[in-house]
């Protein structure tokens, strides 16, 4: 089967038509052009979370969302837990959008506006914050939004008669995919991705009390989330499986995927059906989408089981990958407090791998600080440089590479033959570099062991030795 025959078969196939239709479903939110407006998303979620609204589910949507969020929150942070949610009385609960608040950040009163604030009545007739939701569709947090909300929440605890003491309100950051955010929220915000949001909506729909009108709106909203193309579309997945299970369609897809150059003569057809073809891995030429790098995507897949959760966090994974060591941040927050760290600067220690260029990919392990005020940053900078130097001596014993200057621990180079720029770094070729990516992962694992050993035995004593005043507190 040649390219022309493959295209003729695909475009005439009812299976392909059904698959393409599943990808193109528009919700009422999209038709009204509000599907990308954060205020519209927040308004709908507020309506569903408010027990007093006419959706027929009472406090069930709010309780289910809180359970989901509380299960993700750190038990050490003092936030509302699932056990607390189970006891809370939601009679009188209220949800509002666009609530103006002020939080002290870097010594200054900084204004902010909460997308959603859910409150419970207090014993003295006041209201107490239970849940704060910040929702981002495509934009990212501006300035220090989540810092402001965190600071405000810390000054406004939840005190309810059914609880054995004050609790911190839950802070939820809703977005399509956190890996696409270059400025993630500060802790203790927990992340609710659209896949989580869709699962919550399914739980709400399972409740018998939901009205028919509310069911229609919830299903339309779910379709709006799917249209963001950032989490799985079950209907499209099912249609794709049917298409790829058909013998002739499968052969046509295989031919088209293997012929990006020949497809240039049919670019009008490919562009007309670009969304469906892209989902099937059929592209006109070797051009990476949106600057994504297949090598970075694959390295994240390999690193996830090793680093996700626990003492490590992962960010990025399309054009670059960052893997950071969380105990460092926790230890300095415990020692100095948030306000003092805003003055001194917040230290970090992380791996960084960006897309290969000129057939070379570089894995960096380095430390630094974020923020701080002028001269006040120098003690923290000196300490970071010191512990990076200690780690550098240890890791270089096992690595035949040069250390990076300054706050760098190690810089390791890997060979990616054939990848000279982004256009070469595509999914069709990444399997050729699997061995090199696994070699990169093995280096990360070796360095991980060194860092964790240092963190478990020397991190806290190092803070006390370098900042004697902290040790006296």
Asked if the model's pLDDT at residue 29 lies above 60, the reply is: no
**For position 227, what pLDDT does the model report?**
55
Residue ranges making up the domain that contains 417: 291-471
Q: Are 314 and 396 within one domain? A: yes
Residue 292 CB neighbour total at 10 angstroms: 17
- What's the whole-number average pLDDT of the chain? 82
Q: Is the dihedral of CA 23, 26, 29, 35 positive or negative?
A: positive
Final residue of a domain: which of 226, 260, 275?
A: 226
Q: Are 157 and 245 within one domain? A: no
Q: Are 46 and 176 within one domain? A: yes
Q: Binning pLDDT at 50, 70 and 90, where does residue 240 land? A: confident
The CA-atom distances, in angstroms, between 344 and each of 28, 67, 98, 184, 289 are 50, 36, 33, 21, 40
Asked if the model's pLDDT at residue 350 lies above 90, the reply is: yes
Q: Binning pLDDT at 50, 70 and 90, where does residue 32 land? A: very low
Q: How many domains does the chain have?
A: 3
- Alpha-carbon distance of 430 to 283, in angstroms, equals 15
Average pLDDT on 136-161 reads 80
- Alpha-carbon distance of 324 to 460, in angstroms, equals 18
Q: Cα(first)–Cα(last) distance of the chain, in Å?
A: 76
Q: Are 183 and 40 within one domain? A: yes
- pLDDT tens digit sequence for 387-405: 999 998 888 776 655 544 4
Q: Are 433 and 304 within one domain? A: yes
Q: Are 335 and 447 within one domain? A: yes
Q: Are 423 and 371 within one domain? A: yes
Q: Are 273 and 302 within one domain? A: no
Q: Which residue has the higher pLDDT, 165 or 413?
A: 413
Ranking 16-30, 60-74, 459-473 by mean pLDDT, the lowest is 16-30
For residue 400, the 8-state DSSP code is -
**For position 173, what pLDDT does the model report?**
92
Final residue of a domain: which of 191, 226, 261?
A: 226
Q: Are 251 and 322 within one domain? A: no
Q: Are 198 and 256 within one domain? A: no
- Cβ proximity of 209 and 57 under 8 Å: yes
| Three-point CA angle 160, 161, 163, nearest 5° | 70
- Alpha-carbon distance of 294 to 286, in angstroms, equals 12
SS (H, E, C) the chain: CCHHHHHHHHHHCHHHHHHHHHHCCCCHHHHCCCCCCHHHHHHHHHHHHCCCCCCCCCCHHHHHHHHHHHHHCCCCCCECCHHHHHHCCCCCCEEEEEEEEEEEECCEEEEEEEEEEEEEECCCCCEEEEEEEEECCCCCCCCCHHHHHHHHHHCCCECCCCCCCCEECEEEEEECCHHHCCCCCCCCCEEEEHHHHHHHHHHHHCCCCCCHHHHHHHHHHHHHHHCCCCCCCHHHHHHHHHHHHCHHHHHHHHHHHCCCCHHHHHHHHHHHCHHHHHHCCCCCCCCCHHHCCHHHHHHHHHHHHHHCECCEEEEECCCEEEEEEHHHHHHHHHHHCHHHHHHHCEEEEEEEEECCECCEEEEEEEEEEECCCHHHHHHHHHHHHHHHHHHHHHHCCCCCCCCCCCCEEEEEEEECCCCCCHHHCCHHHHHHHHHHHHHHHHHHHHHHHHHHHHHHHCHHHHHHHHCHHHHCC
Asked if the model's pLDDT at residue 33 lies above 50, the reply is: no
Q: Work out the percent of the chain whose per-residue pLDDT is above 70.
A: 85
Most confident residue range from 20-29, 45-54, 220-229: 45-54
Q: Are 39 and 18 within one domain? A: no
Q: Is the dihedral of CA 455, 461, 465, 470 positive or negative?
A: positive
Final residue of a domain: which of 184, 207, 226?
A: 226
The CA-atom distances, in angstroms, between 462 and each of 110, 311, 335, 459 are 34, 18, 11, 5
- pLDDT tens digit sequence for 415-443: 999 898 877 888 777 888 999 999 999 99
Q: Are 420 and 336 within one domain? A: yes
């Amino acid at each position: 089967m040649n390219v022309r025959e493959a295209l003729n078969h695909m475009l005439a196939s009812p299976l392909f038509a059904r698959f393409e239709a599943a990808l193109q479903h528009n919700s009422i939110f999209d038709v009204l052009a509000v599907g990308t407006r954060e205020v519209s998303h927040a308004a709908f979620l507020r309506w569903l979370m408010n027990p007093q609204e006419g959706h027929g589910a009472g406090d069930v949507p709010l309780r289910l969302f809180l359970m989901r969020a509380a299960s993700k929150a750190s038990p050490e942070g003092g936030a509302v837990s699932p056990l607390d949610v189970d006891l809370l009385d939601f009679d009188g609960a209220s949800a509002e959008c666009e609530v103006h608040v002020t939080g002290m950040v870097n010594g200054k009163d900084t204004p902010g506006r909460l997308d959603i604030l859910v409150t419970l009545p207090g014993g003295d007739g006041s209201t107490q914050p239970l849940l704060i939701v910040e929702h981002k569709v495509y934009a990212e947090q501006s300035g220090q939004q989540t810092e402001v909300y965190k600071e405000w929440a810390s000054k406004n605890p939840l005190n309810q008669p059914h609880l054995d003491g004050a609790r911190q309100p839950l802070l939820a950051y809703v977005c399509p995919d956190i890996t696409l955010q270059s400025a993630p929220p500060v802790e203790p915000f927990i992340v609710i991705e659209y896949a989580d949001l869709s699962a919550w909506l399914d739980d709400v729909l399972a409740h018998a009390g939901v009205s028919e009108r509310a069911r229609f709106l919830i299903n339309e909203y779910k379709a709006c989330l799917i249209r963001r193309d950032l989490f799985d579309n079950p209907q499209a997945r099912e249609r794709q499986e049917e298409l790829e299970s058909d013998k002739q369609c499968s052969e046509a897809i295989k031919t088209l995927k293997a012929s990006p150059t020949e497809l240039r003569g049919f670019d009008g057809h490919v562009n007309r059906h670009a969304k469906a073809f892209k989902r099937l891995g059929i592209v006109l030429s070797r051009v990476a989408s949106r600057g994504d790098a297949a090598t970075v995507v694959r390295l994240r897949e390999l690193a996830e089981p090793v680093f996700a959760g626990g003492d490590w966090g992962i960010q990025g994974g399309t054009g670059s990958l960052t893997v950071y060591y969380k105990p460092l941040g926790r230890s300095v927050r415990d020692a100095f407090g948030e306000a003092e760290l805003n003055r001194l600067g917040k230290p970090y220690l992380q791996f960084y791998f960006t897309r290969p260029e000129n057939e070379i990919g570089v894995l960096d392990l380095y430390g630094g600080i974020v923020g701080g005020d002028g001269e006040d940053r120098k003690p923290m900078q000196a300490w970071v440089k010191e512990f990076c130097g200690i780690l550098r001596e240890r890791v270089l014993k096992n690595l035949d590479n040069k250390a990076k200057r300054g706050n760098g621990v190690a810089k390791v180079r890997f060979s990616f033959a054939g990848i000279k720029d982004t256009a070469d770094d595509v999914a069709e070729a990444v399997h050729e570099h699997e061995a090199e990516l696994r070699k990169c992962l093995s280096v990360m694992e070796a360095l991980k062991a060194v860092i964790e050993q240092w963190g478990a035995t020397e991190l806290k004593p190092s803070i006390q030795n370098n900042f004697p005043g902290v040790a006296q507190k």
